Structure 1
Amino acid sequence: MVPNRRGRSLSTALFLLALGYFFLLQLPFSLPSWNYHRRPTPVKNENIRPDAIHLDRAHKIHPIASYIPLPTNPKPLPRIQHEFEPESWLERKRRTQRQKAVKKTFLHAWNGYKNHAWLRDEVSPVSGKYEDSFSGWGATLVDALDTLVIMGLDGELKLALEALEQIDFTTTFSKEVNVFEIVIRYMGGLIAAHDLTNGKYPILLKKAEELGNMIFYAFDTKNHMPQMRWKWGRSAIGQEIEPNPHTSLAELGSLTVEFTRLTQLTGNPMYYDAVQRITNELDKVQMRTKAPGLWPNFVDALRLDFNGSEFSLGGGADSTYEYLPKEHILLGGQTDQYKKMWERSLDAIKKNLLFRAVTKEEDKQILFTSNLQFTGGASHIAHTSDHLKCFIGGTVGIAAKIFNRPEDLSIARGLTDGCIWAYDSMPTGVMPETFQFTPCADLEDCPWDETRWYESVLRQPIELQQHRREAQKIVAAEVIPPGMVGTRDSSYKLRPEAVESVFIMYRITGDKSLQDAAWRMFQNIEKMTHTNFGHSAVKDVRDLDTKKSRQNGKLLAR
């Protein structure tokens, strides 16, 4: 089953809100303090017994004899951000009004969590009940720390830091720990808040290291690849664990930034060593897969087998590619390994996955990436996009700047415009989770062709007027905008990837139309997802009266 990463979702609205707020911080600006600092009552976790086993006395079965050293002499990197002109008073007024709206929306979600699920993982935005989806260590609280810093909510941050003392990362009621989710939410939240506050609060690094010491046992296997669905109880009592033979690429390849930064902050080489071993394996096999330059969505981490047949930038693969240029930046450009791996990947993406969609906006390159599958020696392309892929526009933009590849900026903008178009095309102004599109034959020349669109919808040539009417009926019944062929999944799961790419491209280009696009996204998301306790996933973005999902649409966001 492809992990949907819950959108990176638990916190995904928090990410949307923090990003939206940060989006508006073109110039330094402070807002009045907000008086929401009542000390919340923790929701007691009855699942942790006093006699629960702990990892703090475990020993390693496969210790590392010699750690891979962390590079320590960073080089200057090219500038990423646009040189902004001073804003006018009208622009400043509009920006600060939008900031206030984003902050108000965040506080609504934060207070829903604080009042109903404090120190539990998340609040159900529909029922107001708590859920422990990420091992019960207060995932929303930890994941929101950097947002509290960015928004200047010092009183709320103080409450959260006090609560951190109560979190014990050496034990959990969960039988399995999802290493990927724990690292991006907990370790990412702790380290980001530590860095944003310049190390002002020692508890942040203390807890990050406590978590790192625990998670490191998931790497205690014969080949030192982590058991991503970690049976931590076995490690706690000294039993052998093995890497999972069916591991998603995204889970395996998306630990580098957090672990590397933890080594940089603590001086302990074991964290960087752990993820660099994974990188070396990915580097070694990258040009030997069925689609050289790309890695399959799922790999056998036990046998180090990368012979899978499905390739995509969506769920199961996405953040491995995203982390390549980001790790290069974090390492200060001291090694060309991540640059080389990125350039191989992008060349393969251009060759195998990149397509332009047939739309009425002929003046724009509306770009998406498709899915590639090998069956019986033959390759098959599915022109399907999904919200998780929307990270790629911003990632290509960052890589174009730091690797001095200006020719890639138009691709970055086209991929970002594709996600904006998908938002703007829907009746609710919110992009569906998964949809199909009609591909252009040429990236440069792609006139609107209504007949071809109808043929894609009907899945047969339009030879009679009856065929055209049948296609029109499908378009009307399924609410398909021109250019889309259908929506496989019309829900919205509080995904942050599209807004993130819009933010990044705005910072790279200075194009203020991107600010306006993000504002439209924010307003429509807020309108569709607002509940009494936070923000919820919605079932159908084609329907203005769609129901809120009872499947925990998660509230805040990274």
Structure 2
Amino acid sequence: MSTTMKRYGLLLVIAACTVLVFYRFHDTVLPAGRSSFAWGHHSASVGQPLDSQDGHFRWRDVPVRYPVVSLTPLPTAKPKQLPAVQHTFTEESQQAAETRRSRLAAVKSTFERCWRAYKEHAWLQDELAPISGGYRNGFGGWAANLVDNLDNLWIMDMKKEFEAAVVAAVSIDLSVSSTNIVNVFETTIRHLGGLLSAYDLSQDQRLLHKATEVGEMLLVAFDTPNRMPITRWRPVDGKSGRAQVADGVVLVAEIGSLTLEFTRLSQVTRDPKWYDAVERIVRVFDEQQSKTKLPGMWPVVVNAKDLDFTGDNTFTLGAMSDSLYEYLPKMHALLGGVEPVYEKMYTDSMNTAITHNLWRPMTPDNADILLSGNVRVNPDVEVDPQGQHLVCFAGGMLALGGRLFSNKPQVELGRKLTNGCIWTYRALPYGIMPEVFHMVSCASKDKCNWDEDRWRDEVMQRASLQSKGLVDAYIQEQRIPKGFTDLPDRRYILRPEAIESVFILYRITGDQRLQDAGWDMFTAITNATETGLANAAISDVTIGADSKMDSMESFWMAETLKYFYLLFSEPSVISLDEWVFNTEAHPFKRPTVK
């Protein structure tokens, strides 16, 4: 699933924050819900192992400075019968079945190729460098790509590879790290989420044991006076027993997107301490939701040290906030609907976001689509007509929330947001959406007619051109498609968010045109990104394959290819009525109603 503002124009208020250096948008950017970086060929010790009976270090043996006096238990009420999420599919025609299966086979073939390359060139490292054959270690050196894809190996029936990967995963040494600072959020969604999902699918106890070990390590980051986690955490401080204090500048997604994984760990271990840890965070979000500068939503930056989640003036469903909102309906599903706070927070936040963040772009074909932008309150509420690939998850989120809470208008909004991302893919010359772009915002979400003069005027203003006579040459030179006013970040880093929403909308509506749209995305992406080994990010979607970068983040296989695979699978494979995905596309088993 699974974020700072500077890079998109709205984040100037925290441009000085050093936290941005570690962001998951690679060399310059975004995180949350979806990566970090650092090249490396070795691991650095984070401290001397503690003594234990077998001589191995155990995170659970680290002394606690600020113990919890009273644990909040998991809800004990019987799970509710929640509304059905998936469409009732009828039997497909022979031709449709053959088309779907051929597409499914193509996706699996791409995954198998990437997996072989990772195994041959980067085994037990975090990520493969898909051009040079090197590797990248930015997630502690804890084999992020391997752990991230355990569930894929099971889902795609690669059981021999799954067994080898499990043996390797349980051998990972969490007492050493390739980085001095660990991103707790990224480790949670990739490692804890990956192990828990693979356990839910296979019931292999080795995976639950390792997931518990990861959970014990992450819990040490919560050992602060107010029990708020240090989101950019130094494991050496935790191991050595140094005093730890929560940060005063925290990205809201990184502190608000731990709930699903910690809750699932408590559910399967029957130990409430992880649920208790995140429930304390949720309590702060709940108490302060109506007190922010845009009541209903939380700002991009919050203060975990002083428990002030209201200070910042920028609000978005996109980078740095995304998975905070994504997890609200998903927690409702994971807890069987028995904890009302998640429905309340989701409803209030979406009412605000729908009013202020969603906007309709002016397009040459007058497409009835929506995008989600960034809002600044200064003091008026102003929306920046920006689009992000990352925020494409919002269409699936609104459709899922609309189903779970019986809100049909939200499903329709989710459809329009998803169609907005499909439109953007198709509008670019190589059929791939850029990381960040701007368009002209319509005055109304309901009706909007193309105005070519207005479009040219906005291009001129964004480029700070001195005369209208320069606009045509600028548009041609900069390769700006009609309808777009600026492409400030032209990269495609193998992101999953657009196909994520296409998959969810397909499962919810049964609209076969979404499968066709997904296939167009898959072919465009693979044509532009395939290397001699695997697939690579590209630096410019207006140039395509000639702009490949030596980078393949773990979410390419773990999320993007998983969602493509599931789009063309039988609807019963990981049914949305039985499973809920974390922001790294790891499915967790929903409770059954007996």
- Determine the structure 2 residue equivalent to 1:557: 558
Structure of higher RCO (CA pairs closer than 8 Å, 6+ residues apart)? 1
Structure 1 residues 11, 139: closer, same or farther in 2, change over 3 A?
A: farther
Matched, 1:123 2:128: yes
1:154-165 superposed matches below 5 A? 154-165=159-170
Residue correspondence of structure 1 range 169-248 to structure 2 within 5 A = 169-197=174-202, 199=203, 201-248=204-251
- Per the alignment, do residues 87 and 317 of structure 1 end up closer, same or farther by CA in structure 2, a change over 3 Å counting? same
Which residue of structure 1 aligns with residue 492 of structure 2? 492
1:459: which partner in 2? 461
Out of 88, 104, 108, the residue aligned to residue 99 of structure 1 is 104
Moved more, 161-170 or 128-137: 161-170
Give the letter for the 1:208 counterpart.
A
Name the aligned partner's letter for residue 276 of structure 2: D
Aligned to 2:522: 522
CA contact (8 A) 1:180 1:254 kept: yes
Residue in 1 aligned with 2:363?
A: 359
- Sort the Cα spacing of 1:218 and 1:49 in 2 relative to 1 into closer, same or farther, 3 A: closer
CA contact (8 A) 2:395 2:416 kept: yes
Q: Secondary structure at the match of 1:557?
A: helix
Amino acid at match of 1:529: T
* CA shift in 2, pair 1:452/1:50, >3 Å: closer
Q: In structure 2, what is the Cα distance between the partners aligned to 1:556 and 1:531?
A: 15
Match of 1:343 among 337, 340, 347: 347
SS at match of 2:363: coil
Query: Runs of 5+ in structure 1 lacking a partner?
Result: 14-42
TM-score by length of 2: 0.84
Q: Distance in 1 between matches of 2:178 and 2:137?
A: 10
From the superposition, tell whether residues 50 and 309 of structure 1 become closer, same or farther in structure 2 (CA, over 3 Å).
closer
Aligned to 1:385, what secondary structure does the other structure show? strand
Task: Tell me what 1:37 maps to.
Answer: none
1:69 corresponds in structure 2 to: 73
The verdict on how the C-alpha distance between 1:151 and 1:208 changes in structure 2, with shifts beyond 3 A counting, is: same
- Normalization by structure 1: what TM-score? 0.89
Q: Which moved more, 1:64-73 or 1:252-261?
A: 64-73
Do the aligned residues in 1 keep the contact of 2:358 with 2:372 (CA within 8 Å)?
yes
Q: Equivalent residues in 2 for 1:271-420 (5 A)? A: 271-306=274-309, 307-362=311-366, 364-375=367-378, 377-420=379-422
1:349-407 deviations in Å (ceiling 9; x for gaps) = 12211101111333x421011111234x3443211111110010000000000101111
Other-structure match for 1:23: none
> How far has the Cα of 1:318 moved from its partner?
0.6
SS of the residue 2:558 aligns to? coil
Cα 1:453–1:172 change in 2 (3 A) is same
Residue identity matched to 1:331? L
Deviation string, structure 1 residues 223-257 (Cα, Å, up to 9, x no partner) = 11100111221121211111111110110110111
Please state whether the residue corresponding to 1:85 is helix, strand or coil: coil
CA distance in 2: counterparts of 1:87 and 1:93, whole angstroms: 10
Give the whole-Å Cα distance in 1 for the aligned partners of 2:46 and 2:255: 32
Quick check: 526-535 or 337-346, which moved more? Answer: 526-535
Asked whether the 8 Å contact 1:535–1:553 carries over to 2, the reply is: no
Instruction: Identify which range, 162-171 or 442-451, moves more after superposition.
Output: 162-171
* Cα distance in 1, alignment partners of residues 505 and 422 from structure 2: 12
Question: 1:145 touches 1:157 (CA, 8 Å); kept in 2?
Answer: yes
Q: Distance in 2 between matches of 1:534 and 1:76?
A: 43
8 A Cα contact 1:10 1:556, kept in partner? no
Question: Match of 1:427?
Answer: 429
- Does the 8 Å contact 2:425/2:431 carry over to 1? yes
Q: Does the C-alpha gap of structure 1 residues 295 and 220 become closer, same or farther in structure 2, counting only changes over 3 Å?
A: same
Q: Secondary structure at the match of 1:323?
A: helix
Write the letter of the residue equivalent to 2:88: E
Whether the 8 Å contact between 1:145 and 1:160 is mirrored in structure 2 is yes
1:535 corresponds in structure 2 to 535
Q: CA RMSD in A?
A: 2.3
Aligned equivalent of 1:135: 140
Alignment map for 1:105-116 (pairs within 5 Å): 105-116=110-121
Name the residue aligned to 1:24.
Answer: none
Alpha-carbon distance between aligned partners in 2 of 1:494 and 1:316, rounded to the nearest angstrom = 18
Check 1:537–1:528 CA distance in 2 against 1; reply closer, same or farther (3 A cut).
same
TM-aligned CA distance change 1:12 to 1:537, over 3 Å: farther
Shift in CA distance, 65/323, structure 1 to aligned 2, threshold 3 Å: same
Q: Percent identity?
A: 40
Count of residue correspondences:
521
